[in-house]
């Protein structure tokens, strides 16, 4: 019989708020992506489409490199799909994503 541990190579680099997690870089506080209950997105309070978010994340990655980070702030009733769409973009472009508690 052969046994092995499960390896998850495509895990998200996600940081949840709490005492043990480090605070996001100060620049990340300038890139807050909010998700409403209706499934719409805002970037620093300005409405934006999902493709617009992707373009902003690509631009952020080019300008800030390895230190690039965003803060994801979902509404309490935001759908999981909408939140995961943003986290997936962060993973794809190797951007650090900090998920806040639902508001």
Query: What is the CATH number for 43?
Result: 3.30.420.270
Task: Classify residue 37: in a domain, yes or no.
Answer: yes
The domain of 91 spans 28-99
Q: Between these two residues, 25 and 62, which has the higher pLDDT value?
A: 62
- Mean pLDDT on 71-78: 95
> Residue 2 has what pLDDT?
56
Q: Is residue 10 part of a domain?
A: no
pLDDT tens column, 11-41: 555 666 665 555 545 544 479 999 999 999 9
CA dist 24 and 17 (Å) reads: 10
Q: Domain count of the chain? A: 1
- The per-residue pLDDT for 1 is 58
The CA distance from 34 to 53, in Å, is 11
For the range 21-24, what are the long-range contacts, defined as Cβ-Cβ under 8 Å and sequence gap of 24 or more? 21/98, 24/69, 24/71, 24/96, 24/98
Asked whether residue 82 carries a pLDDT value surpassing 70, the answer given is yes
């Amino acid at each position: 019989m052969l046994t092995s541990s499960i390896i998850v190579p495509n895990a998200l680099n996600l940081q949840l708020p709490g005492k043990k997690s480090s605070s996001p870089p100060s620049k990340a506080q300038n890139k807050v992506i909010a998700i409403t209950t209706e499934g719409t997105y805002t970037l620093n309070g300005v409405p934006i489409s999902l493709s617009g978010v992707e373009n902003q994340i690509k631009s952020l990655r080019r300008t800030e490199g390895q230190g690039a980070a965003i803060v994801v702030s979902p509404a309490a009733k935001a759908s999981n799909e909408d939140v995961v769409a943003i986290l997936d973009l962060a993973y794809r472009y190797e951007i650090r994503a900090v998920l806040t508690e639902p508001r």
